[in-house]
Amino acid sequence: MDDILTAREKQPLKRKEISISKKISAMYALQEEIEELKFIQKDSEENVHAWANDCETKLNEAKSNVENIKRVLVEIEEEEILAERENDETNLRMAIDAETEKQLAIEKARLELERVHKEAEHQRELEHQDQILQQNMKFQKSMETSVEKSKEVKNIKLPKLAITKFSSKFSDWLPFWNTFEAEIDSVNLLPSVSKFGYLKELLEPKVRVDIDGLPFTTEGYERAKNVLKSEYRKSSEIINAHI
């Protein structure tokens, strides 16, 4: 019995408790039968009582063993509950630690992503400022070049123009245009807008109306020349005009 109690194994102890309890119940029933037999056999009352006391002592020992087993079982169950509680607390702490670590990792990743975004934004801002600086430098250089060209243009002495205004006659187109190209259009230092102004001055109103709606820019000047060439540089019309 002591070995079983020392081992503190729950299932064997339960089986032992049940077994001893059954035997105790059986012994009480058997004790009554034996006492009756002893009286029937004319055994002395003193002997019967002595035997009954001896049986009661042994049964009390057996019941004491059952109580010890029950006490140990209660202790085992309490230990199991405590161990389970400690295990639950350990698991809870581990879960909390894991969640905390997860949240820290998420926060660290968020801060890193935010840092990368800020660095990228700062880099874009630097690149944008650099582009603006480069554009300003180009613009400044362009302005300086324009000023220099303006100074050069002011010093240009264009010959007095002896170009007859173009009146839309096909017979006058080639002499007019060849002279204009040689005297005005070919002067590289003369701005396109100035050339455009000269061109308009050399056109009669009924011809000038074809290009009056164009913008007074380099592009407008090029479009004006194309409009006039398309309208008046027609070989068949020029030939017919000279026949």
d(CA 195, CA 58): 139
Amino acid 24: pLDDT: 78
Q: Tokens at residue 46, please?
A: 């003193």
Task: Give the DSSP per-residue string, 57-94.
Answer: HHHHHHHHHHHHHHHHHHHHHHHHHHHHHHHHHHHHHH
Tens digits of residue pLDDT in 108-145: 989 999 999 898 888 998 887 878 678 667 656 655 55
d(CA 32, CA 53): 12
Burial class for 125, CB neighbours closer than 10 Å (0-12, 13-18, 19+): exposed
153 pLDDT exceeds 90? no
Helix axes 192-201, 218-232, angle to 10 degrees: 40
Amino acid 6: pLDDT: 59
User: With contact defined as beta carbons under 8 Å apart, do 169 and 131 qualify?
Assistant: no
Comparing 105 with 157, which gets the higher pLDDT?
105
d(CA 194, CA 227): 18
Per-residue pLDDT, averaged over 183-187, amounts to 91
Torsion region of 187: left, alpha or beta (phi above 0 gives left; psi -120 to 50 gives alpha): beta
Q: Tokens at residue 239, please?
A: 């030939």
CA atoms within 13 A on the CB side of 205: 0
Q: Tokens at residue 190, please?
A: 């003369």
| Torsion from C-alpha of 230, 235, 240, 243, nearest 10 degrees | 140
Amino acid 176: pLDDT: 92
199 pLDDT exceeds 90? yes
Q: Which phi and psi (to 5°) does residue 218 adopt?
A: -60, -45
- Tell me the average pLDDT of the chain: 81
d(CA 76, CA 54): 33
pTM higher than 0.75: no
Q: Which residue has the tokens 């389970």?
A: 84
Amino acid 192: pLDDT: 92
User: With contact defined as beta carbons under 8 Å apart, do 213 and 202 qualify?
Assistant: no
